Amino acid sequence: MDNVKKWIPILIITFFVGLLAGYFLPVQSDQGEEAVINTCPANVTDLTALNVALNDSRVIGFLENKSIDSITLYRVSHDEENKNLIQVGFYLSESEADTCLSSPRMYVDVNNSCMIYSVYKPYPSYIPGCKS
């Protein structure tokens, strides 16, 4: 029993040294914002923005098992916010049967750091002159 009592202070000190080391040492990871920024080219191209959009789980869930009618790419600039984005638009070829609504679509905004700024699906719009 005396042998165990000698080791208790050493174990307590080791525990607290481990906690401090874990708190102050940075976590090494290949994932996260720093890894994305380091692999992002200086000039983000349309192809880079499309690859970033297609790697997002929300986009994959939207496009899963569906036919894409068209993909559009636009450069969007917000001067007041100093943001330059590439907007990727996915348009599906399927429309709701027996309705006069446009086909589903999704827009993904990718910023200059190869990060997704926003993902949204607008409501379908009414097609004028349509007869269901």
What was the pLDDT predicted at 64? 86
Residue 90 lies in a domain: yes
Q: Is it the case that residue 96 has pLDDT exceeding 80?
A: no
- The whole-angstrom separation of Cα 94 and Cα 111 is 29
In a domain, 79, yes or no: yes
> Domain containing 106 — which CATH number?
3.10.450
Q: What is the pLDDT of residue 30?
A: 46
21 is a domain residue: yes
The whole-model pTM stands at 0.62
The rounded percent of the chain whose pLDDT value lies above 90 is 17
Note whether residue 68 is domain-resident. Answer: yes
Count: domains in the chain: 1
Contacts by 67-74 with C-beta closer than 8 Å and gap 24+?
67/92, 67/93, 67/94, 68/92, 68/93, 69/93, 69/103, 73/46, 73/49
d(C-alpha 126, C-alpha 132), whole Å: 12
**16 in any annotated domain:** yes
Please say if the pLDDT value at position 37 is more than 60: no
Residue 23's domain comprises: 8-131
Q: Is residue 2 part of a domain?
A: no
Q: Does residue 84 form part of some domain?
A: yes
> If you search the block for the tokens 């690859």, which residue do you land on?
51
pLDDT for the residue numbered 118: 87
Average pLDDT over residues 34-41: 59
**Does the residue 104 lie in any domain?**
yes
Q: Which residue has the higher pLDDT, 26 or 2?
A: 2
What pLDDT was estimated at residue 15? Answer: 76
Q: What is the pLDDT of residues 50-85, one digit of tens each?
A: 999 999 998 888 888 888 889 999 998 876 666 789
Please say if the pLDDT value at position 40 is more than 70.
yes
DSSP character at residue 22: H
